[in-house]
Amino acid sequence: MEPISGADRLVALLRQKLEERARSATNRAGKSQAKTSPDPAGVQALAAVEGYDERQLRRAFVQHLLAEHFGAALVNDANFQQLVTRVRESIDDEPSTARLLSELISDLRSR
Tens digit of each residue's pLDDT (9 = 90 or more) over 32-68: 444 433 444 566 666 666 666 888 888 888 898 888 8
Our count of domains for the chain comes to: 1
28 falls within a domain: no
3 falls within a domain: no
pLDDT at 77: 92
Give phi and psi for 2, each to the nearest 5: -80, 145
CA atoms within 13 A on the CB side of 24: 6
Residue 12 clears pLDDT 60, i.e. is over it: yes
Parent domain of 73: 51-111
Q: Which helix (H) or strand (E) holds 6?
A: helix 6-29
Kindly tell me the sign of the dihedral angle through the C-alpha atoms of 78, 84, 87, 91: negative
Looking at per-residue pLDDT, the higher value among 68 and 85 belongs to: 85
Q: Which helix (H) or strand (E) holds 78?
A: helix 78-93
23 falls within a domain: no
Residue 5 clears pLDDT 70, i.e. is over it: no
SS3 (DSSP) at 81: helix
Residue 29 clears pLDDT 60, i.e. is over it: no
